Amino acid sequence: MTVQDASPDPSAALQRATQYVREARNLLVLSGAGMSAESGIATFRGSQDSLWSQFDPAQLATVAAWRADPALVWGWYLSRMDKVRRAEPHAGYHALAAFQQRSPNLRIVTQNVDDLHERVGLCDVIHLHGDLFAHRCSDCSYPYEQFEIADQVAGSANVRVEPLRCTQCGGQVRPGVVWFGESLPKDALAEAETLARACDVALVVGTSGMVYPAAALPEIAKRSGATVIEINPDQTPLSALADVHLRMTASEGLLACLGSAG
């Protein structure tokens, strides 16, 4: 049983978090867009340059948007792929990878569609909202990996690009991400819920906790008896259920709790 961290003392909170992590038998990391922020990938909410303060999700991240203007949607996703390709995982990712080497009972469930977790060698990462680089035909679901990113797309989020045609059925190839109104991949969600029920410590890193069902995972972990640690410079709807809230960035918090990769 744990108690809510009422202490305003950041070093006391850090000490408690470090001890919980060190003693964890099954550590579950639940990451969101804030995990990639220090690698230069924009979050969706919470700052002036966040994606949904610049772009309308209804025009870019729904099936209706895709049907209305596939070239606009595809161009926007190509520019996001380009940004991710140029990004490098920060020290917090490396700390996670080093920790998993020492302690294979660390699992990661992410809402992120980038591949930064995998690029540091983290294993068995569950992607709840799909994969920016695993495309599929919008008609027959035939899979397509890793397209060349056209030079004209680099650096611009406003380039319209006609999607490629499926070699199997002629349909349009769409991004392999989950859009608003779509269901999450069933197996990924089921495994994530099982991990949330089984973990004894859940480390919630860089998510606003606004998007369900992902936002329910810390609640499931907490209800199942886990200690919940939140790493986020800001308060979120999940802060109230966290036993410890580290008001730090992802790299600062992960390095402090897990130790450095070296």
Q: Which residues bind ligand OAD (CB under 6 A)?
A: 32-34, 37-38, 43-46, 50, 61, 111, 129, 178, 206-208, 210-211, 231-234, 236, 249-250
Q: Which of 90, 117, 127, 129 is catalytic?
A: 129
- The least CB distance from residue 215 to ligand OAD, in Å, is 8
Q: Of 166 and 253, which CB lies nearer to ligand OAD in the complex structure?
A: 253
Question: Closest residue to ligand OAD, Cβ-based?
Answer: 34
Q: Of 131 and 243, which CB lies nearer to ligand OAD in the complex structure?
A: 131
Residue 119 structure tokens: 């690029």
- The least CB distance from residue 104 to ligand OAD, in Å, is 25
**Is 129 labeled as catalytic in the residue annotation?**
yes
Contact 248, 261 (CB under 8 A): no
Distance (Å, rounded) from C-alpha 78 to C-alpha 139? 20
Distance (Å, rounded) from C-alpha 191 to C-alpha 186? 9
- The least CB distance from residue 180 to ligand OAD, in Å, is 6
Type of residue numbered 27 = L
Instruction: Phi first, then psi: give them for residue 212, nearest 5 degrees.
Output: -95, 155
Q: Of 73 and 166, which CB lies nearer to ligand OAD in the complex structure?
A: 73
Beta strands in the chain (DSSP E): 27-31, 106-110, 126-127, 130-137, 143-145, 173-177, 201-205, 227-231, 244-246
Q: Of 172 and 249, which CB lies nearer to ligand OAD in the complex structure?
A: 249
List residues with catalytic annotation.
Answer: 129
